[in-house]
Amino acid sequence: MSEYDSIARLYDPWSRSVVEDVPFYVEEARESGGPVVELGVGTGRIAVPIASHGIRVIGVDSSAGMLEVCAERAALAGVEVDLRLGDLREPPVDERVPLVICPFRSFLHLRTDEDRRRALRSVRQLLAPAFGARREREIHDAARVARAG
Ligand SMILES: C[S@@+](CC[C@H](N)C(=O)[O-])C[C@H]1O[C@@H](n2cnc3c(N)ncnc32)[C@H](O)[C@@H]1O
């Protein structure tokens, strides 16, 4: 039982005006090529628009109620989101992906440093090795440019 179960049907009316971050995540997903893992997928505010661009999304959430609303939202939009009940500290995902997202403060639900470290370790595992290497190279190059400047 999650504390979000009791507000699952209120979440969409409450968050209706929160739209400014949607294009950012859709663009990131498009650039990555997918699939995308969203941790704390909620009712699909971000996942459904991404899936609507033809990108596979695996959505993990600890609230069955939020996942139920998400499934309805996806069906209404005519898309599929691969929804999985689970904890974002140990997401039930074996696939390796180029992008993991955790929008709209889901990460802030983790209350201890150890919980946050567990979640970040899981994210690292989820990221495909090739993508991880590319990111490391980008960071390395950026650091070199910064030093040279
Ligand atoms: C503020 S909502 C954000 C939902 C969605 N990402 C969005 O952008 O609208 C936070 C979500 O994180 C989920 N959540 C909180 N703690 C979690 C945990 N430990 N594991 C998985 N999901 C969690 C909640 O059930 C809720 O659906």
Cis preceding linkage at 35, omega within 30: yes
Hey, what are 26's tokens? 């859709």
Domains of the chain and any CATH numbers: 5-148 (3.40.50.150)
| DSSP category for residue 39 | E
Distance CA(44)–CA(66), nearest Å, equals: 9
Cα 145 to middle of ligand 1, angstroms: 37
pLDDT digits (tens, 9 = 90+) for 30-72: 999 999 999 999 999 999 999 999 999 999 999 999 999 999 9
d(Cα 100, Cα 127) in Å, to the nearest integer? 7
Percentage above 70 pLDDT, the chain = 87
- Reported residue count of the chain is 149
Per-residue confidence (pLDDT) for residue 128, from 0 to 100: 80
Beta carbon of 122 within 6 Å of any ligand 1 atom: no
Contacts of residue 22, defined as CB under 8 A and 6 or more positions apart, other chains included, come to: 45, 46, 49
The yes-or-no verdict on residue 105 having pLDDT over 90 is: yes
Flag whether pLDDT at 7 surpasses 90.
yes
CA-nearest residue for atom 14, ligand 1, is 40
Q: What is the mean pLDDT of residues 84-96?
A: 98
* pLDDT score recorded for residue 54: 98
> pTM of the full predicted structure?
0.90
pLDDT of residue 131 exceeding 90: no
Of 16, 28, 62, best ligand 1 pocket probe by most atoms within 8 Å of the beta carbon: 62
Over the chain, what is the mean pLDDT? 92
